[in-house]
Amino acid sequence: MRDLSNLHQFLGITAESHPNGLLLQQSQYAEDILRRAGMQNSKEVATPISIKTPQSSASPDFSNPTLYRQLVGALQYLTLTRPDITYAVNKACQHMHSPTDQHFDALKRILRYLRGTVHYGLPITGSSMNLRSYVDSDWAGDQQDRKSTTGYCNFLGNTLISWSVKKQTTIARSSTEAEYRAIAAVTTEIIWLRRLLEEFGFAQTSPTILYCDNTSAIVLANNPVYHARTKHIEVDCHFIRECIKNQSIQVHHISSKDQLADFFTKSLSISRFKLLVSKMLTSGASACRRVLNDKDIDYSKNNKTHI
In this prediction, residue 57 carries a pLDDT of 62
Return the closest-CA partner of residue 211 out of 126, 298, 279, 87. 298
Q: Is 4 exposed, middle or buried (0-12, 13-18, 19+ CB in 10 A)?
A: exposed
Q: Is the confidence at residue 132, as pLDDT, over 80?
A: yes
Q: Which carries the bigger pLDDT value, residue 230 or residue 13?
A: 13
User: Which residue has better confidence, 299 or 50?
Assistant: 50
- d(Cα 168, Cα 242) in Å, to the nearest integer? 22
Query: pLDDT tens, 63-96?
Result: 999 999 999 999 999 999 999 999 999 999 999 9
Any idea what DSSP says for residue 79? Answer: T
Q: Which pTM was predicted? A: 0.85
Helix-strand-coil split of the chain, %, nearest 5: 40, 20, 40
- Residue 145: per-residue pLDDT: 82
Residues sharing a CB contact under 8 Å with residue 6, sequence separation 6 or more, in sequence order: 17
Which tens digit of pLDDT belongs to each residue from 264-294? 998 899 999 999 999 888 876 544 344 334 3
- CA proximity to 138, closest of 199, 213, 63, 191: 213
pLDDT in tens, 166-219: 999 888 888 888 998 899 999 999 999 999 999 999 999 999 999 999 888 888
| Residue 139 CB neighbour total at 10 angstroms | 20
Residue 53's pLDDT band, with cuts at 50, 70 and 90, is low
Domains of the chain: 10-121 (no CATH), 128-254 (3.30.420.10)
In the β-sheet with 249-253, what is the strand arrangement from edge to edge?
159-167, 149-156, 131-138, 208-212, 249-253
* Number of Cβ atoms within 10 Å of the Cβ of 136: 27
